[in-house]
């Protein structure tokens, strides 16, 4: 019986050793990990946020959940300025010269301007590398910070903006893009 248990232990240890995954290999070094990560996040933000703005009916662009909150159109206007400003700061390129959008603009005009702001971000971030992240920049309102802060604000802002747009959609009985069933 003792011999049986010894054989079973040896057999089980051999099976366990065979079933183990090979030692984890270190991931390949990524050139410009911050810029590369922003470019990856951009695609998701662009798809979800543009999808959310397109999903809101034109007659609901004046909707706001409470008197103290912004309208959906104001959120779209904010996203446009945010993208143009922070993508320029993060990538160290000039912000685009665009006509300032207004809440009173049509849905079609606001959707086009949001798309243009994401297009600008895509172009700007394609030129970005990590070599300037430590540079001191004027972040906003005279506040000085490293360029890396603009990149972090950009990433967190994209999530915040989509979350707000998704909430506005849900409050109007519309399923946001990220909650849609896979096709």
**The CATH number of the domain covering residues in 32-175:** 1.20.120.450
Q: What is the mean pLDDT of the chain?
A: 88
CA 105, 52, 114, 135: dihedral to nearest 10 degrees? 140
Q: How many Cα atoms sit within 13 Å of 15 on the Cβ side?
A: 6
pLDDT at position 140: 87
pLDDT at position 77: 98
pLDDT at position 18: 37
**Is residue 174 over pLDDT 50?**
yes
User: How do the domains of the chain map onto residue ranges?
Assistant: 32-175
Task: State both tokens at 44.
Answer: 């998701």
CA 115, 88, 153, 31 dihedral sign is: positive
In tens, the pLDDT along 26-77 reads 556 678 999 999 999 999 999 999 999 999 999 999 999 999 999 999 999 9
Q: 182 falls in which pLDDT band (50, 70, 90)? A: confident
**Is residue 87 over pLDDT 80?**
yes
In tens, the pLDDT along 135-156 reads 999 998 899 999 999 999 999 9
């Amino acid at each position: 019986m003792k011999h049986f248990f010894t054989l079973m232990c040896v057999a089980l240890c051999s099976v366990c050793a065979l079933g183990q995954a090979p030692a984890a290999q270190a991931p390949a070094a990524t050139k410009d990990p911050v810029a590369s990560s922003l470019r990856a996040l951009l695609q998701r933000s662009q798809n979800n946020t543009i999808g959310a703005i397109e999903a809101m009916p034109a007659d609901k662009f004046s909707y706001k959940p409470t008197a103290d909150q912004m309208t959906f159109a104001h959120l779209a206007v904010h996203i446009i300025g945010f993208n143009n400003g922070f993508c320029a700061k993060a990538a160290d390129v000039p912000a685009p010269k665009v006509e300032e959008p207004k809440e009173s603009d049509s849905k079609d005009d606001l959707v086009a301007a949001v798309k243009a702001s994401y297009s600008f971000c895509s172009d700007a971030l394609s030129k970005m590398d990590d070599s300037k992240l430590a540079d001191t920049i004027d972040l906003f309102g005279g506040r000085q910070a490293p360029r890396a802060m603009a990149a972090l604000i950009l990433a967190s802002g994209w999530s915040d903006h989509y979350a707000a747009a998704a909430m506005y959609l849900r409050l109007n009985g519309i399923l946001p893009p990220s909650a849609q069933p896979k096709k």
